């Protein structure tokens, strides 16, 4: 076993579903205790990576280590280190909260007073004591998510995998769910791996990996990734991006890059440049926006397309 501070290490990982490549030579490291976000559009490989970490799939090439254990060589040890909360709740709606938890406890070899004590503890922490004997299908979406989270935590894992955990929740329930996650990290010193396609969720993570079409596009602290683009970014929307980019470079001697259907202008003082830009090119612009860079900008700069506008492409090799 390799000794390491890393909760998760992924090395040159490639995964294929038949001819379709879902992950391409992906390498990343998740430090222990980190809240780590996997951000990418649909089809970018987030769920596949989660399933590989959970030992439900085996790598085509490369390897993954969870708490120092290789997922292929020691899958049962890996599974004991991990709690998993998948997109679809893994609960039986026709069983009560307690019955669901007992059932899942049994999967992890928990029973008797140890299991009862753990269920009591979690019900109290998640403020669901009063719903203990309620059928799960009678709970609100947010409460069901909390029961699902409790299920994932029953065996006191060191790492929790959450795949798009707030899907289907309204903004209030989503906010409450994230508050619960933050508390969990503090009290349990858990490592959290959260797959999401939502910027606002990724921005709450300590570190994020941006995935696109199975590739790692960028990784690091969200703030640092965004700041690497400068204090501000200037985006021009225009029906003729190539011509406008060329005109900006000719007239103002600053770099202008066509990214998707937009033009990104790398000006050190975008506010001072903007009126001059309008004087020369105003008739050809639909809009110009100056803003502090976000992860969306990072994604756009690295991939040439928006996080939410990527049609899923069939990848083969
Ligand atoms: P994400 O979770 O980011 O939406 P996925 O990991 O689900 O991405 O998918 C990555 C790629 O693998 C996509 O191109 C998807 O169509 C493909 N894929 C996912 N599951 C299967 C499967 N069971 N069989 C074939 N292709 C799949």
Q: Read off the tokens for 148.
A: 């699902």
How far apart are the C-alpha atoms of 42 and 268, rounded to whole Å? 34
Residue 301 confidence (pLDDT): 87
As a whole number of angstroms, the distance between CA 228 and CA 215 comes to 20
Using one digit for the tens of pLDDT, what is the confidence trace for 29-77? 999 999 999 999 999 999 999 999 999 999 999 999 999 999 999 999 9
- Average pLDDT (105-130) is 92
pLDDT at residue 31 in the model: 95
d(CA 164, CA 218) in angstroms, rounded, equals: 20
Q: Taking a C-beta distance cutoff of 8 angstroms, is the pair 147, 99 a contact?
A: no
161-189 pLDDT tens trace: 999 999 888 999 899 899 989 888 888 88
What pLDDT is stored for residue 4 in this prediction?
Answer: 47
Q: Which of 43, 41, 145, 40 is nearest to 89 (CA)?
A: 145
The CA-atom distances, in angstroms, between 17 and each of 25, 50, 311, 315 are 15, 15, 19, 10
The pLDDT tens digits of the residues spanning 185-220 come to 888 889 999 999 999 999 999 999 999 999 999 999
Average of pLDDT values for 261-287?
90
Instruction: Report the C-alpha gap between 254 and 265 in whole angstroms.
Output: 7
Give the residue, 302 or 22, on which the prediction is more confident.
Answer: 22
Count CA atoms within 13 Å of residue 181 on its CB side: 29
pLDDT of residue 53: 97
Q: Is the CB of 150 under 6 A from ligand 1?
A: no
In the predicted model, is pLDDT for residue 316 greater than 70?
A: no
Determine the distance separating the centroid of ligand 1 and the alpha carbon of 214, expressed in angstroms: 9
Closest ligand 1 atom to Cα of 40: 3
Quote the pLDDT of residue 67.
Answer: 95
Return the beta strands (E) in the chain as ranges: 6-17, 20-31, 35-39, 61-66, 69-70, 82-85, 159-163, 191-196, 207-212, 215-220, 233-237, 256-259, 262-265, 287-291
By most ligand atoms within 8 Å of CB, the mutation choice from 37, 43, 194, 315 for ligand 1 is 43
- Tell me the two tokens of residue 29: 């490291």
Q: Give how far Cα 83 sits from Cα of 1, 163, 240, Å.
A: 21, 11, 50
CA–centroid distance, residue 72 to ligand 1 (Å): 20
Average pLDDT in the chain: 91
Work out which ligand 1 atom sits closest to the CA atom of 41. 3
Which letter does DSSP use for residue 196 in this model?
E
With bands split at pLDDT 50, 70 and 90, how would you rate the model's confidence at 109?
A: confident
* Closest C-alpha to 280, from 310, 306, 247, 239: 247
312 Cα: distance to centroid of ligand 1 (angstroms) = 10
Q: Which of 83-87, 196-200, 228-232 has the lowest mean pLDDT?
A: 228-232
pLDDT digits (tens, 9 = 90+) for 239-256: 999 999 999 999 999 989
Beta carbons of 85 and 162 less than 8 angstroms apart: yes
User: Relative to the CA of 197, which ligand 1 atom is closest?
Assistant: 3
Say yes or no: CB of residue 40 within 6 Å of ligand 1. Answer: yes
């Amino acid at each position: 076993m390799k000794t390491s501070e890393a909760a998760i290490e992924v090395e040159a990982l490639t995964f294929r579903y038949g001819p379709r490549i879902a992950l391409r030579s992906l390498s990343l490291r998740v430090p222990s205790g980190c809240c780590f976000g996997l951000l990418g559009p649909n089809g970018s490989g987030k769920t596949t990576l989660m399933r590989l970490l959970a030992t439900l799939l085996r790598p085509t090439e490369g390897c993954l280590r969870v708490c120092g254990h290789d997922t292929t060589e020691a899958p049962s040890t890996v599974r004991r280190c991990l709690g998993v909360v998948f997109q679809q709740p893994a609960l039986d709606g026709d069983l009560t909260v307690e019955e669901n938890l007992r059932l899942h406890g049994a999967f992890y070899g928990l029973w008797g007073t140890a299991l009862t004590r753990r269920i009591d503890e979690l019900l109290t922490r998640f403020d669901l004591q009063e719903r203990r004997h309620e059928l799960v299908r009678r709970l609100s979406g947010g409460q069901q998510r909390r029961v699902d989270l409790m299920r994932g935590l029953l065996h006191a894992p060191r790492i929790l995998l959450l795949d798009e955990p707030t899907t289907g929740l309204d903004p209030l329930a989503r906010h409450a769910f994230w508050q619960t996650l933050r508390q969990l990290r503090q009290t349990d010193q858990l490592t959290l791996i959260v797959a999401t396609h939502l910027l606002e969720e990724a921005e709450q993570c300590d570190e994020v990996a941006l995935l696109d079409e199975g590739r790692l596009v960028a990784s690091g602290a969200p703030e640092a990734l965004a700041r690497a683009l400068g204090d501000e970014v200037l985006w021009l929307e225009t029906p003729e991006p190539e011509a406008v980019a060329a005109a900006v470079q000719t007239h103002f001697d600053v770099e202008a890059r066509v990214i998707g259907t937009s033009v990104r202008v790398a000006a050190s003082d975008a506010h001072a440049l903007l009126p001059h830009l309008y004087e020369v090119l105003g008739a050809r612009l639909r809009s110009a926006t100056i803003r502090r860079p976000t992860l969306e900008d990072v994604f756009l700069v690295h991939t040439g397309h928006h996080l939410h506008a990527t049609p899923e492409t069939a990848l083969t090799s």
